[in-house]
Structure 1
Amino acid sequence: MITLTSSELALLDHRLRERRRELLAALYGEYGDLAGARPPEALGPESHPDETASRKAGDELRAALARHDRDELQRIDGALARITAGLYGACVECGDPIGYERLAAAPYTVRCVSCQTAFEQHRHIRQ
Structure 2
Amino acid sequence: MITLTSSELALLQQRLCERRRELLAALHGEYGDVAGARPPEALGPESHPDETASRKAGDELRAALARHDFDELQQIDAALARIAAGLYGACVGCGDLIGYERLAAAPYTARCVSCQTAFEQHRYIRQ
Equivalent residue, structure 2, for 1:33: 33
Report the Cα offset of residue 21 of structure 1.
0.6
Report the Cα offset of residue 39 of structure 1.
1.2
Distance in 2, Cα, partners of 1:61 & 1:121: 26
Equivalent residue, structure 1, for 2:10: 10
Correspondence 1:76 to 2:108: no
Unpaired stretches in structure 2, ≥5 consecutive residues: none
TM-score w.r.t. the length of structure 1 is 0.93
Distance in 2, Cα, partners of 1:53 & 1:114: 43
Distance in 1, Cα, partners of 2:123 & 2:52: 38
User: How many pairs does the alignment contain?
Assistant: 127
Equivalent residue, structure 2, for 1:111: 111
Considering only aligned residues, what root-mean-square deviation do their CA atoms show, in Å? 1.2
**Closer, same or farther: CA 24–49 of 1 in aligned 2, 3 Å:** same
TM-score w.r.t. the length of structure 2 is 0.93
Distance in 2, Cα, partners of 1:40 & 1:46: 17
Equivalent residue, structure 1, for 2:48: 48
Unpaired stretches in structure 1, ≥5 consecutive residues: none
- Structure 1 vs Structure 2: percent identity of aligned residues? 90
Correspondence 1:22 to 2:22: yes
Report the Cα offset of residue 66 of structure 1.
0.5
**Closer, same or farther: CA 122–10 of 1 in aligned 2, 3 Å:** same
Dislocated runs of 4+, deviation >3 Å = 121-127
Report the Cα offset of residue 114 of structure 1.
1.9
Report the Cα offset of residue 97 of structure 1.
0.9
Point out the more displaced range, 4-13 or 36-45. 36-45
Amino acid at match of 2:18: E
Distance in 2, Cα, partners of 1:123 & 1:74: 18
Distance in 1, Cα, partners of 2:126 & 2:67: 24
Distance in 1, Cα, partners of 2:120 & 2:6: 31
Report the Cα offset of residue 75 of structure 1.
0.5
